[in-house]
């Protein structure tokens, strides 16, 4: 299949939401699918949202959205919002996983983010999925999970950071909280 990786366009906004919900429902459950869909909707309403960094993978022949990810601004204790991004969520149509679609979207996002002047990206997830993209555990570099970041408090290796600009690690430090997102705080 021929695919295109690009920044999202208006015609893909709803299909991307449908894909996110379907993938997370299939891999977790219906509640998780709805939660992650609501997260994407909330990100799009916040000052942290950067449309050029909402990335989709499209089937070139049908224009179907087959992959989706968002890089959005994030801060640590009110600092670094112009330097730091959060990568979340990332998903690929279930039948097309393991074909490097997420890799291609993430790498495309890294390039766009570098061009826009961002220094680093934080992600929360399974290290096996992100270490190959250059992510490393964030806690040794001074980026710590706060009270609203549940899983990495018990499994710190699941909160990771990647430098986009060499020498950034260690210059961005603090505690990550998701308090800006009602969906992630259970509100």
Q: Give phi and psi for 107, each to the nearest 5.
A: -65, -40
Q: How far apart are CA 1 and CA 74, in angstroms?
A: 35
**Domain ranges (residues) in the chain:** 3-179
pLDDT of residue 127: 93
Q: What is the pTM (predicted TM-score) of this model?
A: 0.94
For the stretch 124-165, pLDDT in tens is 999 999 999 999 999 999 999 998 887 767 788 999 999 999
pLDDT of residue 187: 67
First CA to last CA across the chain, in angstroms?
41
CATH entry 3.40.630.30 includes domain 3-179: yes
pLDDT value at 167 more than 90: yes
What is the pLDDT confidence band of residue 91, given thresholds at 50, 70 and 90?
A: very high
For the stretch 93-102, pLDDT in tens is 999 998 999 9
3-class secondary-structure state, position 96: helix
Nearest in space to 65 (alpha carbons), one of 107, 108, 4, 129:
4
Helix (H) or strand (E) holding 65, with range, is: strand 65-73
Parallel, antiparallel, or unpaired for β 120-124 and 84-92?
A: parallel
């Amino acid at each position: 299949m021929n695919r295109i990786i690009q920044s999202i366009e208006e015609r893909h906004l709803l299909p991307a939401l449908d894909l996110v919900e379907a993938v997370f429902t299939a891999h977790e459950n219906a509640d998780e699918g709805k939660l992650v869909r609501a997260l994407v909707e909330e990100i799009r309403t916040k000052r942290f949202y950067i449309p050029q960094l909402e990335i989709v993978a499209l089937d070139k022949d049908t224009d179907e959205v087959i992959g989706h990810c968002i890089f959005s601004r994030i801060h640590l204790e009110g600092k670094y919002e112009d330097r730091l991004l959060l990568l979340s969520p990332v998903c690929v149509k279930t039948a097309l996983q393991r074909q490097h679609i997420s890799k291609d979207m993430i790498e495309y996002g890294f390039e766009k983010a570098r061009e826009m002047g961002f220094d680093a990206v934080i992600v929360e997830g399974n290290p096996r999925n992100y270490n190959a993209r250059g992510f490393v555990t964030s806690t040794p570099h001074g980026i710590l999970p706060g009270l609203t970041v549940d899983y990495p408090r018990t499994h710190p290796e699941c909160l990771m950071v990647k430098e986009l600009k060499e020498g950034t690690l260690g210059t961005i430090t603090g505690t990550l909280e998701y308090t800006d997102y009602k969906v992630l705080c259970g509100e």
